Amino acid sequence: MGTTLVLGELHSHLLYLRGPREARAVLLHLLDDPVHEWVEVPASLVREAVVNWLARYPDQHFSSAVGVILSCWEGGWVATAS
């Protein structure tokens, strides 16, 4: 399982590292691959991530995407990291 927030962050990195054509191709490939399950991230989950992870560990450089992933694990959305 992955979140659309993670896809957005990946796309930003790929734009910088590989350019728009390759970034777009990777994004479409991941969206079309039936092995991946993508879930939308509601604003309430982003808020939870900011409060429970980013604010709780202010010395860490967590992105909002990482905070959401940690909130998903903590909330039982994901049983194990794979």
Per-residue pLDDT reduced to its tens digit, 9-32: 999 999 999 999 999 999 999 999
pTM higher than 0.75, yes or no? no
Is residue 80 domain-resident?
A: no
Residue closest to 2 by CA, chosen among 45, 60, 65: 65
The two tokens of residue 78 are 């994901």
Domain count, the chain: 1
- Domain containing residue 19: 2-74
Q: Say how far apart CA 59 and CA 77 lie, in whole Å.
A: 26
Looking at the domain assignment, is residue 62 inside a domain? yes
pLDDT the model gives residue 55: 93
- Give the H or E element holding residue 68: helix 64-74
The stretches of 4-42 forming alpha helices (DSSP H) are 4-18, 20-32
Average pLDDT of the chain, as a whole number: 87
Collapsed DSSP state (helix, strand, coil) of residue 58: coil
Does pLDDT of 82 surpass 80?
no
- The answer to whether residue 81 scores a pLDDT higher than 60 is no
